[in-house]
Structure 1
Amino acid sequence: MVVRCAWAEKMPVPRNSKTTGSKQLRPGKAGAVENVRPEKEESFQAKRSPSSPQGAPKKRSAFGDITNAHKNQAGLRKKDAAKAGPRKAQKGTAALGVLKNNEINFKKSTRKTPPAEVPVDPKLVPKNDPVPEEPAPTQVPAIEDIDKEQLGDPYASAEYAKEIFNYMKEREEKFLLPNYMENQHDISRDMRAILVDWMVEVQERCPPCVDDFLYICDDAYKREELIAMEMSILRTLKFDINVPIPYRFLRRFAKCTHASMETLTLARFICEMTLPEYDYIQESASKLAASCLLLALKMKSLGGWNPTLEYYSGYSSQELHPLVKRLNFLLTYQHDDKLKAVRTKYSHRVFFEVAKSAPMDMLKLEVALKS
């Protein structure tokens, strides 16, 4: 007699399906039930079926008659008994076995090879005992901030100095003079040189008044004529008289080398020597200032062009070499008695008598520029 499980009786039977109870299964064909595990079926029935009375045979599932599930019951009982034991004891025994094996393996490894030094991982070191780190070498910045010392001076405008000089350098292109001598025949180069030399001679430290200009002109013009000419000049220039001049750039570039006042004055003398010379009118103000300073540094044996000068001026040393040679040639061979205002001015002790400094030999200057 085949006994069905309790859950199988409650499940509805499909119409087209045939019940397994109406047809006996052949002993040799067990493939229809190979997916059913006997141990699960046995445990499930043990929970659902009530305990059998004494002396009565225990109910078995239908699969027990055609499979070898009854042969595996003894093994299943032993496994259940082992599982029913205390888990803590099993874990403790396993842990002791692992520790003993680790100890044996450690002894074997120490006999064969000496202990190697294990690198310390900084992440694994406790925070209370940090690994001392070697101090990184301090790197001196190659470019110096020349405006840092004057940040508190409201007249220096150190916060905007870099932007101001960049703006002035952009305006240089607007005020580059063309070769205007070819377009007029009223004055010559020599006449221009005499006029500029006279302007250097008559300039004063404070801006002169109109009467002073009339006196300088020996009353050749009236007051109304002088004022009318000034107004005409301003209208022609559209009142845009903020012209970038080398003198402004020269003072800033000298700060990059911490040049003394005597070295700066020597560079100014070289710069003003170019005023009467028509050949220098097409040079930009910043490049002329940088070349004058480089020549003054070479004349004083104070080194050459450093990274700070190259950064703030925008010129490399090689770009300035041709103009530096021309300036040294001008100091060596320009001795016109008619044009002596600049030399006379810088021969005074107020200007450290820099006009009396001997120019460099051309071959020595060539070697000094390459070094």
Structure 2
Amino acid sequence: MATMRQAARITEENAPKGKPVKPDAGAPADNTKRRAFGDIGNIQGVTTRAQAAKDKVGTKPQTSLRPRDPNATAAALRSKVAQPSRPAGVSLSSLLQTRAESVPAAKAPVVCPESPLPDIDKNDKHNPLAASEYANSIYNYYRRVEPKFKVAHDYMQTQCEINEKMRGILVDWLVEVHLKFKLMPETLYLTCNIIDRYLSIRNVTRKRLQLVGVTAMLIASKYEEIWAPEVNDFVYISDKAYTREDILAMEKQMLASLQYDLTVPTCFLFTARFRKAAGVADDLKVNQMCEYLSELCLVDVTTNKHSLSLLSAAVLHVALTALGRADTYPRTLARHARYKLEEVLPAARHIVSLMRKAPESSLRAVYKKHCSSKFGEVAKVEVPVLPEATEL
């Protein structure tokens, strides 16, 4: 080894100045002592003093000169937080299970959801005339627009020549006309709705009040009936007090004033729905009693202070009470009507007072109509007794 090093040194001394000396092919290169190779860290088997010091102390990763991506940095931090440190030889699933068992479970509040609305249309699925798929939507619409078409019970105070008594006489006479023409029940309720809505926005003289009544029934008949009475029939029934031209002119004026809004909720519609909810839709006696009580409410304008849906629920409650039914306000009825019994009782007491006054009232058209056997003589049923407000 010494002989080879001496030969290399002699060759380097004898070499001309300025020319590189080619190393002997047989002599091994000592790369550890050359600066150029010492700075390169990827040579296998070469370890410099600086690198050894870094390995001993521990080096930090080189930082990149490029700007960091904030999203990548946030993701890296989240991954570090999400990955819990665990001892060697312990799986992540077992560690998570151990931690979950050590943490007490929070007590969730117990919520008892309300049972769904009872399906009262299930027996009409195969009846296309019942429109069971749309029944709930239709009555939800009626409930939504009910305040829009509600008339104040004291609107007669804005009239100059007519009063509540005249309005009652008109409706009582229209009940007889409705019976003579054999019209549908819906026609009578829509007629009274048109009269009240028109009188609440237009002043009418005493001479033209009957014209308003017959025109309202003509409009309602065209809307509800398959074969509506002709204009000449109303001219005849009013004893020719008005001409055909008068009725047609009033029809245009009323429709324009009401903005042609004729699809409106009535007491008849809500009562029919609530009878179905109470399970008495096929009970003829209950239906006849409800019709009698509803027509009593049509004659008395003060019943307008109650909403139609509330008044309909009260009508059914009084009818069931008067006929001696066991459950006078079933839970299903309360769910569909959206009223508690305490809310219905004030209107029910008002209806009972009308029943008590009917036999001795001067407006006897409704009472005489329902005293006949054709309508079940329900007007002769004993007036029920309801609890007073102090007993609730």
TM-score by length of 2: 0.56
CA drift of 1:370 comes to: 7.5
| Alpha-carbon contact 2:270-2:312 (below 8 Å) kept | yes
Q: How many Å separate the matches in 2 of 1:305 and 1:276?
A: 25
* Aligned twin of 2:120: 146
CA drift of 1:369 comes to: 12
| Alpha-carbon contact 1:176-1:283 (below 8 Å) kept | no
What SS is found at the alignment partner of 1:175?
Answer: coil
Alignment of 1:37-52 (within 5 A): none
| Alpha-carbon contact 2:310-2:344 (below 8 Å) kept | yes
* Aligned twin of 1:312: 336
| Alpha-carbon contact 1:321-1:369 (below 8 Å) kept | no
Alignment of 1:4-83 (within 5 A): none
Distance 1:13 1:337, change over 3 A: closer
CA drift of 1:156 comes to: 1.1
* Aligned twin of 1:200: 175
The CA deviation string for residues 6-58 of structure 1, in whole angstroms up to 9 with x for no partner, is: xxxxxx9988xxxxxxxxxxxxxxxxxxxxxxxxxxxxxxxxxxxxxxxxxxx
Structure 1 residue 231 and structure 2 residue 252: aligned? yes
Identity of aligned residues (%): 34
Distance 1:215 1:310, change over 3 A: same
Higher Cα Rg: structure 1 or 2?
1
Distance 1:369 1:254, change over 3 A: farther
Q: How many Å separate the matches in 1 of 2:157 and 2:245?
A: 33
1:247 to 258, 261, 268: 268
| Alpha-carbon contact 2:117-2:336 (below 8 Å) kept | no
Amino acid at match of 2:130: A
Amino acid at match of 2:182: R
| Alpha-carbon contact 2:318-2:384 (below 8 Å) kept | no
| Alpha-carbon contact 2:271-2:312 (below 8 Å) kept | yes
Amino acid at match of 1:343: Y
Structure 1 residue 355 and structure 2 residue 387: aligned? no
Distance 1:356 1:316, change over 3 A: same
Q: How many Å separate the matches in 2 of 1:232 and 1:297?
A: 42
Distance 1:142 1:298, change over 3 A: farther
Q: How many Å separate the matches in 1 of 2:259 and 2:162?
A: 25
* Aligned twin of 2:310: 287
Structure 1 residue 343 and structure 2 residue 343: aligned? no
What SS is found at the alignment partner of 2:384?
Answer: coil
Amino acid at match of 1:283: H
Extract unaligned runs of 5+ from structure 1: 1-11, 16-140
1:325 to 346, 349, 372: 349
Distance 1:167 1:202, change over 3 A: same
CA drift of 1:210 comes to: 1.0
CA drift of 1:142 comes to: 8.4
Quick check: which one's helix share is greater? 2
Q: How many Å separate the matches in 2 of 1:248 and 1:238?
A: 22
Amino acid at match of 2:256: R
Alignment of 1:26-175 (within 5 A): 144-175=118-149
TM-score by length of 1: 0.59
CA drift of 1:144 comes to: 3.2
CA drift of 1:188 comes to: 1.5
| Runs of 4+ deviating beyond 3 Å | 12-15, 141-144, 334-337, 367-371
| Alpha-carbon contact 2:370-2:379 (below 8 Å) kept | yes
| Alpha-carbon contact 1:263-1:297 (below 8 Å) kept | yes
| Alpha-carbon contact 2:358-2:367 (below 8 Å) kept | no
* Aligned twin of 1:222: 243
CA drift of 1:297 comes to: 1.1
Number of positions where the alignment pairs a residue of Structure 1 with one of Structure 2: 234
| Alpha-carbon contact 2:297-2:303 (below 8 Å) kept | yes
* Aligned twin of 1:265: 288
Q: How many Å separate the matches in 2 of 1:214 and 1:308?
A: 47
* Aligned twin of 2:23: none
